[in-house]
A = this chain, B = another copy of it.
Amino acid sequence: MKTPENPHAGSTTAPARAPRGTLSRGAIVDLATKIMDKDGVEAVTVRRLAKELGVRPMALYTYFRSKDDILGAVYSDLLSRLELPDSPEAGLAGVREVVHAYFHLLIEHSALIRLNIANDISNAGDLKVSEAIYALLLQAGLERKDAVGVAAALMRFTLGSASLYPARHNWDADADYWSRVKESLRTLPAERYPALRSFGDDLPEFTQEQVFAYGVDAILDRFEG
């Protein structure tokens, strides 16, 4: 009775073979992005992608050579969506804009950081960001040497800021969290941590956003007006 012609004969019918059009690079990248944002990069597995796409694991290998290849595509895709001001007259204000946009992209998809670190400069998305920053810096009148130094410093500062963001952003609007931090600073041994202890009583508050702006200002200020 259990023949291919009579698939309903048993309750243990084999799962239907997925039709031809189910998969595409875009569908895979979109789902990988969604999983990454929700549960982190480590949750992005070939097997889970396949399952949620209604397909067997090996099907993905028609579209990507490896899992790393998929993650690379996720990174490029997100970077390509980054909207950059293309008026090179914006000057240093424009640089701030680009760098903030990049920062926000990184923290909205916080797992991007780990992908970025493995990447090389040849990535088209990175190139776009670099081009925008260099064009604006040169337009603003910086010497080539300073342009390179400033651009490199901004990239590094932005990456570092984004990498600490997930562990720090809880403090941002939570007065409770903030006072617990002060409390824990006050419990530090006085001989070994005199400076940190003093911040237990008087701790200037910064949101992560403000820390980021502070650093960008520090790097750019000396070229201002």
A222 touches B221 (CB 8 A): yes
Cβ-neighbour of A152 out of B119, B152, B181, B211 (below 8 A): B211
A204 touches B148 (CB 8 A): yes
Query: Looking at chain A's contact residues, is the secondary structure mostly helix, strand, loop, or mixed?
Result: helix
Is there a chain B Cβ closer than 8 Å to A20's Cβ? no
A184 contacts the other chain (Cβ, under 8 Å)? yes
Which of B127, B156, B160, B167 is A119 in contact with, Cβ under 8 Å? B167
Interface centre among A160, A166, A204, A206 (most CB of B within 10 A): A160
B206 to A149, Cβ gap below 8 A? yes
| Contact between chains at A131 and B196 (CB < 8 Å) | yes
A173 within 8 A of B: no
Are B215 and A222 within 8 A (Cβ)? no
Partner of A218, one of B144, B150, B155, B181: B150
By beta carbon, the residue of chain B nearest A192 is: B131
Residues of chain A having any CB pair with chain B under 8 Å: 113-114, 117-122, 127, 130-131, 134-135, 138, 144-145, 148-150, 152-153, 155-161, 163-164, 166-167, 181, 184, 188, 192-196, 198-199, 202-204, 206, 211, 214-215, 218-219, 221-222
- Assuming A127-B188, A131-B192, A152-B206, what are 11 further A-B pairs, CB within 8 angstroms? A117-B166, A138-B198, A149-B218, A153-B218, A156-B161, A156-B163, A156-B164, A157-B160, A157-B215, A218-B219, A218-B222
16 contacts across the A-B interface (CB closer than 8 A): A113-B163, A117-B163, A117-B166, A127-B193, A127-B196, A131-B192, A148-B203, A152-B215, A156-B157, A156-B161, A157-B160, A159-B163, A160-B163, A218-B218, A221-B222, A222-B222
